[in-house]
């Protein structure tokens, strides 16, 4: 099974898109997304210096635009991707790229959303001097406890022995003066404490905009970076894109889900390297490839063909097949058999595990065709639970 992932802020480097302008149609598509976002992605991806593209308001649209256009280079006929890609995920802002790839929203909607996200987060970061520090090594629980002791947030838990803590500059200085045992600290060159309470003002702005965004349910498994949950509801994906701005990224749980659903290969979109590096340590045995220049396309196409898989939602739309959002035990919440109707939004049960309890809803309602699991059965992320006929068909 192939998973395609999109990197987050900090992965961009000066000139990283220059080689891609030689690919037919790439520059035209990038200029269109520049027009939509009001930001010159061509200039920033080829000519701007490191300080310029480090600006949150520039970096985020640049990364999403780059990811979307390289996706089209990978899959010139986007519909074919749904029969080959088993799952998608994105780190931080990369989840917007992943949402487009999964069919939740259009590229144009994504560019407007990420433009506003970048601006709002830059404004929130300007309120109080804040920052982020990568903690390499050390015991996970000890690192988190030490961060909390100084009022910091474990903003990114990336797995493979890497946690990023965030907060005010004074809190980071106190943390550095009393570091966790066996841990190395590396201050990051970022504009603020992303994925913490310091970004709360940006959440409010994005939430108001999200009310006007029309979305679709996913056409493949989308792994949420909030908790590693497999999400199929388009509205839930959009909600998580908004709240993730001030919530920690749990990439470690994303990789755990990838292992649980049987991922055998991971392909990272441009500018690749960060997530493939984490996968090499956190997903042993999984083949990885970072797509950085057009020279990597033949290897990427070969990887896709060798690991292509048809996800359940590629065969059946999500409104016909409800799947498990996480690993755990399924607890049935309704007494319905074949032929019985479920109302739109009705909870049919929950998946219970050691972390939490995830409700399973019938977002569009429908008539039960067959139950694919029973009460008390163990389930994995993306596993089909019940097959439904749409309400319109049952009427």
Contact call for residues 157 and 249 (beta carbons, < 8 A): yes
Contact 3, 32 (CB under 8 A): no
What distance in Å separates the CA atoms of residue 80 and residue 61, rounded to the nearest whole number? Answer: 26
Exposure string over 264-294, b if 16+ CB within 10 A, otherwise e: bbbbbbbbbebbbbbbeebbeebbbbbbbbb
Catalytic one among 44, 195, 198, 307?
A: 195
Determine whether 195 is an active site residue.
yes
- Cβ–Cβ < 8 Å for 390, 319: yes
CB 84 within 8 A of CB 19: no
Record the tokens describing residue 13, joined without a space.
């480097």
Phi, psi (rounded to 5 degrees) for 300: -65, -45
How many CA atoms lie within 13 Å of 9's alpha carbon, on the beta-carbon side?
29
Q: For residue 323, give both structure tokens.
A: 């799947």
Q: What secondary structure, in 3-state letters, does 257-318 show?
A: HHHHCCCCEEEECCCCCHHHHHHHHHCCCCEEEECCCHHHHHHHHHHHHHHCCCCHHHHCCC
Catalytic residue among 11, 92, 233, 324: 92
- For 26, 81, 85, the CA distances from 301, given in Å and listed in that order, are 17, 11, 12
Other residues' Cβ atoms within 10 Å of the Cβ of residue 345: 10
The answer to whether 246 and 203 are in contact (CB under 8 A) is yes
Could you confirm whether 336 is annotated as catalytic?
Answer: no
**Distance between CA 331 and CA 349 in Å, rounded?**
5
Q: How many CB atoms lie within 10 A of CB 51?
A: 9
| Residues annotated as catalytic (active site), given as ranges | 92, 195
């Amino acid at each position: 099974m192939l998973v395609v992932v999109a990197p987050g802020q900090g992965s961009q480097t000066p000139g990283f898109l220059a080689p891609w302008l030689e690919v037919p149609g790439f520059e035209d598509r990038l200029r269109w997304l520049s027009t939509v976002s009001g930001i010159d992605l061509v200039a920033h991806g080829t000519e701007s210096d490191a300080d310029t593209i480090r600006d949150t308001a520039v970096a985020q649209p640049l990364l999403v635009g780059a990811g979307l256009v390289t996706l089209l280079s990978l899959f010139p006929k986007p519909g074919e991707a749904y029969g080959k890609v088993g799952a998608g995920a994105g780190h931080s802002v990369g989840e917007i790229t992943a949402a487009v790839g999964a069919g939740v929203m259009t590229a144009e909607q994504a560019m407007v959303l990420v433009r506003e996200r970048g601006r709002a987060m830059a404004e929130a970061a300007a309120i109080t001097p804040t920052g982020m520090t990568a903690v390499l090594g050390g015991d996970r629980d000890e690192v988190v406890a030490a961060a909390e002791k100084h009022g910091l947030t474990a903003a990114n838990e990336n797995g493979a022995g890497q946690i990023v803590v965030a907060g005010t500059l004074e809190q980071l200085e106190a943390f550095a003066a009393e570091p966790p045992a066996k841990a190395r600290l590396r201050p990051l060159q970022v504009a603020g404490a992303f994925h913490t309470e310091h970004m709360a003002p940006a959440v409010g702005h994005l939430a108001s905009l999200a009310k006007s965004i029309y979305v679709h349910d996913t056409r493949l498994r989308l792994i949420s970076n909030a908790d590693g949950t497999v999400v199929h509801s388009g509205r839930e994906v959009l909600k998580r894109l908004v709240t993730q701005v001030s919530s920690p990224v749990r990439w470690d749980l994303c990789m755990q889900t990838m292992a649980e659903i049987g991922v055998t290969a991971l392909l990272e979109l441009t500018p690749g390297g960060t997530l493939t590096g984490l996968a090499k340590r956190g997903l042993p045995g999984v083949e990885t490839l970072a797509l950085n220049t057009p020279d990597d396309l033949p290897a990427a196409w070969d990887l896709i063909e060798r690991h292509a898989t048809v996800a359940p939602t590629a065969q059946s739309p999500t409104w016909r097949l409800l799947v498990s959002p996480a690993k755990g035990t399924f607890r049935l919440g309704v007494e319905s058999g074949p032929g019985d109707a479920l109302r739109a939004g009705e909870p049919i049960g929950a998946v219970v595990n050691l972390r939490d309890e995830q409700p399973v809803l019938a977002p569009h309602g429908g008539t039960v065709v067959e139950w694919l699991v029973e009460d008390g059965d163990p389930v994995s992320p993306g596993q089909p639970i019940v097959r439904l006929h749409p309400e319109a068909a049952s009427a």
